[in-house]
């Protein structure tokens, strides 16, 4: 258990998928004798030691950042490559099965701060949105806990980013559009990242739009099949 007791704030958007996992992170930190606040608006961030910005799309002012010694974000790419929005989703669509994850200092320029920890998520190619998020959340929690456990020494191990920056654009519902002339297999990665409720996969024929929702089911001992 760490000897240092820290004041920690965790910020996420109120409608973020990671919201259901944040209490697990908070409970782990509290058990290690840290003080933890969970907020959904950057203006509610309290003065303290560490602020985690998890799945947060809010613009945060310098004044808010100054309230804590360190402001940390998690980004799922091999920075500086893959800055921007929804990096995990875009890389799954690119067919990648091993995706780097960085814990870094928030900075004035998006996803450009000093990197303290690098990890990697590994996928077998069958995971759907919920499973992808679970693995993402588990990795996020593990990295946050590691930073706190190794703080403050870990700060000295941080490295500046170098190399060419690339950026992913923000995704919208139209990015879940299928091509009806292609096979399911050809578009399976698009099914994998589709959210059945918020932005389901869809296709258009003769001006009409049709939704397709995907889930896994188990048939006896025959393993998993995909139901569409």
| Structure confidence at residue 194 (pLDDT) | 95
Determine the average pLDDT of the residues in 136-144: 98
- Model confidence at 167, in pLDDT bands (50, 70, 90)? very high
| Structure confidence at residue 225 (pLDDT) | 41
| Structure confidence at residue 3 (pLDDT) | 66
Quick check: 226 pLDDT over 70? Answer: no
- Model confidence at 220, in pLDDT bands (50, 70, 90)? low
Encoded tokens for 14: 């109120």
Quick check: 69 pLDDT over 60? Answer: yes
Number of helices (H), then strands (E), belonging to the chain: the values are 5, 12
Quick check: 219 pLDDT over 80? Answer: no
State pLDDT tens for residues 81-120: 999 999 999 999 999 999 999 999 998 788 889 999 999 9
Rounded Cα distance, 138 and 142, in Å: 6
Strand partners, 99: 121
Domains and CATH numbers, the chain: 7-168 (3.40.50.170), 173-227 (3.10.25)
Q: How far is C-alpha 114 from the geometric centre of its chain's CA atoms?
A: 18
Determine the average pLDDT of the residues in 70-83: 97
Q: Write down the H helix ranges in 40-120.
A: 62-65, 87-93
Determine the average pLDDT of the residues in 155-170: 95
| Structure confidence at residue 228 (pLDDT) | 39
Encoded tokens for 111: 């996803």
């Amino acid at each position: 258990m760490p000897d240092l007791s820290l004041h920690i704030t965790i910020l996420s958007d109120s409608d973020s998928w990671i919201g259901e996992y944040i209490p697990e992170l908070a409970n782990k930190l509290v058990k290690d004798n840290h003080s933890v606040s969970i907020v959904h608006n950057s203006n509610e961030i309290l003065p303290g030691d560490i602020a985690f910005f998890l799945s947060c799309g809010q613009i945060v002012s310098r004044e808010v950042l100054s309230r804590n010694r360190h402001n940390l974000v998690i980004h799922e790419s091999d920075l500086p490559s893959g800055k921007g929005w929804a990096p995990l989703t875009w890389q799954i669509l690119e067919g990648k099965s091993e995706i780097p994850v960085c814990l870094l200092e928030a900075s004035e320029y998006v996803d450009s701060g000093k990197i303290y920890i690098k990890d990697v998520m590994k996928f077998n190619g069958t995971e759907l949105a919920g499973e992808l998020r679970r693995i993402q959340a588990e990795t996020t929690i593990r990295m946050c806990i590691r930073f706190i456990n190794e703080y403050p020494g870990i700060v000295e191990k941080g490295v500046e980013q170098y190399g060419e920056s690339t950026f992913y654009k923000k995704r919208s519902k139209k990015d879940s559009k299928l091509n009806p002339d292609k096979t399911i297999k050809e578009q399976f990665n698009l099914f994998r990242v589709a959210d059945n409720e918020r932005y389901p996969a869809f296709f258009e024929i003769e001006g009409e739009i049709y939704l397709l929702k995907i889930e896994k089911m188990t048939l006896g001992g025959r393993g998993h099949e995909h139901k569409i």
